[in-house]
A and B are shown apart, each in its own frame.
Chain A
Amino acid sequence: MKRLRFLLILDSFLLAALVVLMAPRSSLTVHEWLGFAIIPTAVIHLLFAWQWIATLPRRLLAKGTWRLRINVLLNSLLFITFVVTMFSGIMTSVIAMPALGIPVARDESWLRLHNGWSNYFQLVAGLHLAMNWSWITGTVRRLVLRRPTSAGDVAIAAVGGDMSEAQS
């Protein structure tokens, strides 16, 4: 239960951070520092999904797993677009990197890459939300609304949160 609650908080932070990051005109300072903060959060998000990742090779070979294959493709694209967006963002930093004492040779091409790939990232992140919608609603129903459903619990178990843990 603790793990599931932690995941819900972590993912809620990632969603909120993504929305704030996608509107950089609000504050460049917030945009840059929040961009830095989201990197370790995303790594933790990935580490928590390790059970799902580690069992992939065995499951991908099974017949009729096209949904899983689409999910793997989407998650791979999400990882790639995230890394490119973050790295190009670091390369265009005018506040955070100089504040850390790291000079960045700012080039307009990094900014264009950052702007373009952040759009791809947003698109794939939306599809990632779609793919995991049952997990999201299942977790919110179980932990926030305290009205769990069997379909929601199945989705929680499918993503790697085992139900003995969820039900404890």
Chain B
Amino acid sequence: MKLGTTARMILVLSAAGFVVAVTWVRFTPYDAARDLRAQAVAAKGQAPAPGAEALLRRSVLAPPHNEPRPGTDVTHLGPLRSIAYLGSLKTIPLPGLGRRIDNFWAIYQNGMLVWRVSPSKDGAPPIVVYVNPEPMKPQQVIELYNIPPPVPWMVPMAVQLLVLLMFALIGRKVLRIRL
């Protein structure tokens, strides 16, 4: 099949256009409340860790100093209306490692927050974090990225390179894929 460069490029771009069209058709706009409702339904029948809800209620009354995320302002939320349990996750998703974090959806008079709490255990301090589930505005995203990362910029890149090479190694050694 002999094709000129222009025809080849048109073919490549058409294939990309097809993928974009499928992505566009399948796209569902974000709705924080709908997303959280689905999480709450999925978590039905599950229970938070002992002491997690009590820690949450104490924290709601006196919100802790939080990670600086632009757009998360707890001063104008008004009184708490309801709490829904969203299930739990582990900080390290491996057996015997990490801590269990319970997620709650707190609805206030003027907004909502997602709280992630973990009561103190075996001498470890409690974890209490809240985030605003509503999407950030463009300026808030820029402000968030302007916060200096906790590690030098080379570290995450080195980690990403290692992850990429790890996948390559798995491909070569385990899956035995090579030319």
Which residues of A come within 8 Å of B, CB atoms? 15, 18-20, 22-28, 43, 46-47, 50, 54, 57, 67, 70-71, 74, 79-80, 83-84, 87-88, 94-95, 98, 106-113, 122-123, 125-127, 129-135, 155, 158-159
28 A-B contacts (beta carbon < 8 Å): A18-B160, A22-B164, A24-B145, A27-B145, A28-B141, A28-B145, A46-B12, A47-B5, A47-B12, A54-B1, A70-B177, A71-B177, A79-B15, A79-B16, A106-B138, A107-B29, A107-B30, A107-B135, A108-B135, A110-B27, A122-B160, A122-B167, A126-B166, A129-B165, A130-B175, A131-B177, A155-B179, A159-B179
- B23 interfacial contact with A, CB 8 Å: yes
A125 to B169, CA, bound (A): 12
| Cα distance A88–B27 in the bound complex, in angstroms | 10
Beta-carbon contact of B171 and A126 below 8 Å? yes
Bound Cα distance A80, B16 (Å) = 8
Give B11 Cβ to nearest chain A Cβ, in Å: 9
CB-based closest 6 A-B pairs: A126-B167, A130-B171, A108-B30, A23-B156, A108-B135, A22-B160
A79 (CB) vs chain B CBs: closest residue:
B15
* Binary interface encoding of chain B residues 10-44 relative to chain A, with 1 for a CB under 8 A from any of its CBs, else 0: 00110110011001000111101000000000000
B54 contacts the other chain (Cβ, under 8 Å)?
no
A18 to B164, CA, bound (A): 9
Main secondary structure of the interface of B (DSSP, over half): helix
Contacts of A125 in B (CB 8 A): 164, 167
List chain B residues, Cβ under 8 A from A67: 177, 179
Closest to A155 in B: B179
B167 engages A131 (CB within 8 Å): no
In the complex, the answer to whether A88 meets B23 with C-beta atoms within 8 Å is: yes
Q: Which residues of B contact A110 (CB under 8 A)?
A: 27
How many angstroms from the CA of A28 to the CA of B138 in the assembled complex?
12
Q: Which residue of B lies closest to A70 (CB)?
A: B177
Q: Is the CB of A109 within 8 A of B27?
A: yes
Given that A26-B149, A83-B19 are known contacts, is A130 also in contact with B168, CB under 8 Å in the complex?
A: yes
Chain A contacts of B169 at CB under 8 A?
130
Tell me if B178 is interfacial: C-beta within 8 Å of chain A. yes
- Which residue from chain A places its CB closest to the CB of B134 in the assembled complex? A108
Residue on A nearest B26 in the bound complex, by CB = A113
Q: Which of A80, A83, A84, A123 contacts B167 (CB 8 A)?
A: A123
Residue pair B30, A126 in contact (C-beta under 8 Å): no
Inter-chain CA distance A83–B169, complex, in Å, is 25
Which chain B residues lie closer than 8 Å to A122 at the CB level?
Answer: 160, 163-164, 167
Interfacial chain B residues near A112, Cβ < 8 Å: 30
Contact between chains at B153 and A87 (CB < 8 Å): no
Given contact pairs A22-B160, A50-B8, A126-B168, A131 touches B135 in the complex (Cβ within 8 A): no
Closest to B171 in A: A130
